Structures are given as C-alpha cells and as structure tokens.
Amino acid sequence: MAQLGLKLKAATLIESLIAMVIIVVCMGVGIMIYSNVLDSDKQRMRLKSYLLLDKESEKTKVKKSYLDDEMRSGDYTVKKILTKIPETENLYELALTVLNQEGNIIGKRKELIISE
C-alpha cells in the first residue's frame, strides 16, 4: 500500500513552475504566429485592391472615359471620380477608391491625367 505521509520535495514544485513557464512561452509564440497569419490576409486583400486600381486607371486612360463611375469587380467596388483642374484646359484629377462589401475603404489612388 502507498505511503500516505509521503512529503514532496521542493524540486518538484520548481519543475512544475518551469514547465508552466515553458507552456506560456509556447502559447505566446503560437499567438504571435496566428496574428501574423491573419495580418498576411489583409496584405493580400490590399494587394488585390492596388491591382484593381492599376487596372481601372489604365482602362480610364486607354478608353479616355472621363466620367464619374462606380463598378463592381468580384467582392470589391471601385469608385472613379474625375475632377477638372480649373486653372488648366486639359488636366484632370482621377481619384480611385476601392471599397469592400461592408463599404470600408481598402485602397485609394489619386493621379493627374492630361486629355488630348
């Protein structure tokens, strides 16, 4: 039969504390990795929005469509606003904005366009 009055050594308490510290450190590293994975998804979404802005900017310049417009591309909405610069004859400011489904702004771009 087991001894009921067996005293534990102090070393087991220290070992338990060290094991708990190791577990907490591992959990902290795991949470940091998880957070970085979630942030990389935001980077991918931002990159996709910048590619959409490039595409719409190029399409506006090639087609020479200098009218305000709003178009959907997949999960995103691209708003195009053209403003004529009053001090010049043929200079426009193109403002492009990409919105997600909730209406949050993901990316913006402003550039000047010279119309012929």
Tokens of 39: 């942030």
Cut 0.85: pTM above it: no
Coil, strand, or helix at residue 96?
A: strand
The pLDDT confidence band at residue 61, using thresholds 50, 70 and 90, is confident
Q: Which residues pair with 94 in a beta bridge?
A: 82, 111
Q: Which residues pair with 10 in a beta bridge?
A: none
Q: What is the pLDDT of residues 7-21, one digit of tens each?
A: 666 677 888 899 999
Rounded (5°) CA angle 75-79-85: 160
Q: What is the pLDDT of residues 66-104, one digit of tens each?
A: 888 898 988 889 999 999 888 888 888 999 999 988 888
Residue positions counted in the chain: 116
pLDDT value at 3 more than 60: yes
Residue pair 112/92 in contact (Cβ under 8 Å)? The answer is yes
Tokens of 65: 């469509």
Taking the alpha carbons at both ends of the chain, their separation in whole angstroms is: 100
Q: Which residues of 84-113 are buried (b: 16+ CB within 10 A; e: fewer)?
A: eeeeeeeebebebbbbeeeeeebbebeeeb
